[in-house]
Amino acid sequence: MFDALTERLSKAFDSLTGRGILSEKDVDAALREIRVALLEADVALPVVKDFVTKVRERAIGEDVIKAVAPGQQVVKIVHDALVDLLGGPGEPEGLSLEGEPPVAILMAGLQGSGKTTTAAKLARRIQKTEKKKVLLASLDTRRPAAMEQLQQMAAQAEAGFLPIVPGQTAVEIARRAMNAGRLQGYDVVILDTAGRTSIDEELMAEAKAISDVARPRETLLVADALTGQDAVETARRFNERLPLTGLVLTRMDGDGRGGAALSMRHVTGLPVKFVGVSEKVDGLDVFDASRMAGRILGRGDIVSLVERAAEDVDKEKAERLARKMAKGKFDLEDMADQFAQMQKMGGLAGIMGFLPGMNKAAQGQMAAAGLDDRMLKRQGAIISSMTREERRKPDLLKASRKRRIAAGAGVEVQDVNRLLKMHRQMADMMKKVGKKGPKGLMGGLTP
């Protein structure tokens, strides 16, 4: 699922990343591609419109377009908007099973959606992860085969199963299940309601009556992710009649376009709680919006880098540096700060992809020039062997001082010279940056 979407989004991002400066036009062009990508993935039109508007609002902001790596910032904005769309950040929504046992969970959905399979998967999960005893009951009075299917799956899930008594109505079975649960010490009773081929009045009325008897803590709608917009429409209509608490999307292992998964939350306002990922009884995952967004974008590296940079940038130091740069000053203390900052951001390897214009060839050149993480550490050691005065006035560094510093850092004098040369280059660059903005920050850097 999502393969085609991931590929198209990736193309849209390619036009943004790797550039030093973005114009509003660039962002709009990328947004048009993102829009088409989402529509082709069968995401509902109102959802797409909302999504694109939100991303545009955030991405057109001054600080994004003028940031050091604007394209990467936009990728991060799209990522965050996707997380919002899928369910918001924070912990994935689990089930709420507190209360006087037995707590009931009602399963609803169209026939063939994977409802019965999901009921058994849930029973297994709750028993395994929450260490609670689960009883499964089939309320599908019209289809004996469905009852038998649940019985078999209950055995696979090693959960309890309410014996089948022919001739009872669904409401009677619900009542019997709750009683059995109480008497036999079950914590949770999962009620698998009848599936239909389409939503009808009778089905709805029956589900409502069962709900009144069992008073479920959770009423989960099971929907087949492969049916795309139909699944969204089904969810919307169920939600109008039954007090649903969450959704389960099945067949996320299939090669659908994924639009239903992306639209569900927005259209119904309900959280997707689980996703079915195989036919097996353990094929149920807790739905995690961040992880799903990461998978769809396939750009986890960029997203985590932008996050890390935002966390790590020491505002005060950055402001001090900016003031100095504006005056054309950049001393060895500033350089040490820059190295420390780079190391925090995952070293040079981490920072590479983050910088505009830093392609594979440039990376190779840097590595060949010995500009690697070991170098960063060594430079740090050299700078810390200097006195404060020397760091502020590098011109003081004549031969004898250099020898002392090299000995202190355990390096050769030529390493000290190399550092000073690099400092001069950086200082030159900083002067230009101070005047022109941060374009090409790492440009002509050679040790």
Give Cα separations from 199 to 64, 230, 234, 236 (angstroms).
Answer: 47, 12, 8, 11
Strand, helix or coil for residue 272: strand
Nearer to ligand GDP (CB atom), residue 72 or residue 227: 227
268 counts as binding ligand GDP under rule CB under 6 A:
no
Q: Tokens for 55, please give them.
A: 């991303």
17, 73, 211, 250: which one contacts ligand GDP (CB under 6 A)?
250
Q: How far is residue 28's CA from residue 113's CA, in Å, rounded to a whole number?
A: 39
Binding segment (CB under 6 A) for ligand GDP, from list 6-14, 52-60, 250-258, 413-421: 250-258
The answer to whether 129 is a known ligand-binding residue is: no
Angle at 311 between CA 307 and CA 314, to 5 degrees: 140
Q: Tokens for 243, please give them.
A: 């007090």
The answer to whether 364 is a known ligand-binding residue is: no
Which of 221, 220, 286 lies closest to 87 in space, CA to CA?
Answer: 286
Q: Is 44 exposed, middle or buried (0-12, 13-18, 19+ CB in 10 A)?
A: buried
Q: How far is residue 170's CA from residue 279's CA, in Å, rounded to a whole number?
A: 26
* Greatest CA separation for the chain: 101
- How many residues form the binding site for ligand GDP (CB under 6 A)? 18
Sheet order of strands, 160-161 included: 160-161, 134-138, 188-192, 103-109, 218-224, 246-250, 272-276, 284-286
Binding segment (CB under 6 A) for ligand GDP, from list 106-114, 181-189, 198-206, 345-353: 106-114
Encoded one letter per residue, x for contact with ligand GDP by CB under 6 A and - for no contact, window 195-214 reads x-------------------
The answer to whether 50 is a known ligand-binding residue is: no
The answer to whether 290 is a known ligand-binding residue is: no
Strand, helix or coil for residue 185: coil
Q: How far is residue 35's CA from residue 42's CA, in Å, rounded to a whole number?
A: 11
Nearer to ligand GDP (CB atom), residue 281 or residue 429: 281
The answer to whether 156 is a known ligand-binding residue is: no
The answer to whether 387 is a known ligand-binding residue is: no
Strand, helix or coil for residue 248: strand
Restricting to residues 157-176, which ones interact with ligand GDP according to CB under 6 A?
Answer: none
251 counts as binding ligand GDP under rule CB under 6 A:
yes
277, 296, 355, 430: which one contacts ligand GDP (CB under 6 A)?
277
Give residue number: closest CB to ligand GDP.
Answer: 276
Nearer to ligand GDP (CB atom), residue 262 or residue 325: 262
Binding segment (CB under 6 A) for ligand GDP, from list 170-178, 261-269, 276-284, 330-338: 276-284
Binding segment (CB under 6 A) for ligand GDP, from list 248-256, 293-301, 329-337, 431-439: 248-256
Nearer to ligand GDP (CB atom), residue 259 or residue 350: 259
Residue 234: CB atoms within 10 A of its CB come to 23
Which of 7, 308, 286, 306 lies closest to 125 in space, CA to CA?
Answer: 286
The minimum distance between CB 42 and ligand GDP, in angstroms, equals 18
Helix and strand numbers, DSSP H then E, in the chain: 21, 8
278 counts as binding ligand GDP under rule CB under 6 A:
yes
CB 263 within 8 A of CB 47: yes
Encoded one letter per residue, x for contact with ligand GDP by CB under 6 A and - for no contact, window 109-148 reads x-xxxxxxx-------------------------------
H or E element, residue 285:
strand 284-286
28, 130, 187, 253: which one contacts ligand GDP (CB under 6 A)?
253
Nearer to ligand GDP (CB atom), residue 10 or residue 111: 111
The minimum distance between CB 177 and ligand GDP, in angstroms, equals 17
Binding segment (CB under 6 A) for ligand GDP, from list 56-64, 275-283, 324-332, 422-430: 275-283
> What are phi and psi for residue 190, nearest 5 degrees?
-100, 120
Q: How far is residue 361's CA from residue 366's CA, in Å, rounded to a whole number?
A: 9
Q: Pick out the residues of the known binding site for GTP.
A: 109-116, 192-196, 250-253
Interface with ligand GDP by CB under 6 A: which residues? 109, 111-117, 149, 195, 250-251, 253, 276-279, 283
Q: Pick out the residues of the known binding site.
A: 109-116, 192-196, 250-253
